Amino acid sequence: MAITTCIFDAYGTLFDVSAAARELAKRPGREEFAAHWPQIARDWRLKQLQYTWLRAITGEHTDFWSVTQDGLDWALEAAGLAGDPVLREDLLALYWELSAYPEVPRMLATLKARGFTTGILSNGSPDMLAGAVDSAGLDLYLDHVLSVEQVGIFKPARAVYDLVGQTCGTAPAEVLFVSSNGWDVAGASGYGFTTVWVNRAGEPVDRMPHRPAHVLTDLTAIPDLAASA
């Protein structure tokens, strides 16, 4: 069955989750933060994800903005910078304006020009996703922006992947699902999507029951892959 629909994870796939910390580290007066920002960015992302998994397992759902704040608080405390409320607020404000990876606008525009349906399927809350899409100027290239808040549980729960078929009217085999998260790709592969793992860091494939159909280092080749899959 030919691919008709290309669905993307948002954070870490279309949007650079390190951009908030990296941008703040460049500002005058933030020399102490600049010395720690790479580790803070890594810890922030890791805890953000861990908290989604734990909340899904325990059935204690909250929105993604809450786990984003909780993850940042952990990361700042671990770096010894928890006592600076202005630093915290500046980082959270920048998270609403994450930059897209450089190849994203042209890649999405090419998909649209070739007649593919495009969309986001994300753990992000609707307002966060709207802010990121608007800030990156991607509105014209996306047909759907789907949030887990519609089902009240984080990925990789199957109910989240169900949203694609319910919204787009597609069978799983018609969907090319693209994510930078190995665990997300594993869940989507098991669901029946044709999957692409965007492995920008050159990491090993996760040891999960289901593996990615394709592995890329960035998103440039997605239009050609969708056409040939």
Does residue 172 have a cis peptide bond before it, meaning omega lies within 30 degrees of 0?
A: no
For residue 141, the one-letter residue type is: Y
Integer Cα distance of 44 and 40 in angstroms: 6
Catalytic center residues: 9
Range list of H helices, 16-157: 19-25, 31-34, 37-58, 64-78, 85-95, 104-113, 126-136
Structure tokens at 171: 């069978």
Integer Cα distance of 49 and 68 in angstroms: 9
